[in-house]
């Protein structure tokens, strides 16, 4: 469980629900909301949170590496790289917070293998320096300014 304050809001999560449905729209179940509210109330007595306090919710699917006989909560979040006989490389597992490190790992692994096969040298992975989508906004406190400046730029372009 985590609670991350952000301005006037707090993000609280997470669950380990084993999901078998449509992966394009996993949604959030009432049971997961109840679980998180109950856990938050247990961890932060006195706030008496209810479903009315929930302003938004989202979900994501983590591709855990199957371990026979283990529930999702018991499976390691460590990422692993797999090489198939065809040469396909796959990275699985991991956590959202580590996706840049995972990207660096798989790109570096692929580059080394390509270098060994063909002799061409590739530079280091640069994901650590790339600005993420929305990273040029300047944070939530700059969003209004960002939007206004782009509206104005659009007006200038007609």
Tens of pLDDT, residues 39-89: 999 999 999 999 999 999 988 887 778 888 887 778 878 889 999 999 899
Tens of pLDDT, residues 115-140: 998 888 998 888 888 888 778 888 78
Model-level pTM?
0.57
Domains along the chain with CATH numbers: 1-61 (3.30.9.10)
Q: Using CB atoms within 10 A of its CB, is residue 94 exposed (0-12), middle (13-18) or buried (19+)?
A: buried
Query: Across 16-20, 57-61, 72-76, 108-112, which has the greatest mean pLDDT?
Result: 108-112
Q: Are 87 and 102 in contact (CB under 8 A)?
A: no
Q: Are 18 and 72 in contact (CB under 8 A)?
A: yes
> What is the per-residue pLDDT for 35?
94
The average confidence (pLDDT) of the chain is: 88
CA 132 to CA 37: how far, in whole Å? 31
């Amino acid at each position: 469980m985590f609670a991350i304050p952000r301005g006037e809001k707090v993000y609280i999560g997470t669950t380990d629900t084993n999901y078998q449905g449509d992966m394009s729209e996993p949604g959030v179940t009432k049971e997961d909301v109840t679980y998180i509210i109950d856990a938050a109330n247990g961890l932060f007595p006195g706030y008496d949170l209810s479903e009315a306090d929930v302003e938004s919710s989202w979900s994501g699917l983590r591709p855990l590496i199957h371990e026979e006989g283990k529930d999702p909560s018991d499976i390691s979040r460590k990422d692993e790289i797999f090489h198939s006989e065809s040469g396909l490389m796959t990275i699985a597992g991991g956590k959202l917070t580590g996706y840049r490190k995972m990207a660096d790992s798989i790109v570096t692994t692929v580059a080394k293998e390509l270098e060994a096969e063909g002799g061409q040298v590739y530079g280091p992975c640069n994901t650590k320096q790339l600005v993420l989508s929305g990273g040029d906004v300047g944070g939530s406190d700059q969003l209004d300014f960002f939007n206004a400046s782009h509206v104005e730029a659009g007006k200038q372009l007609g």
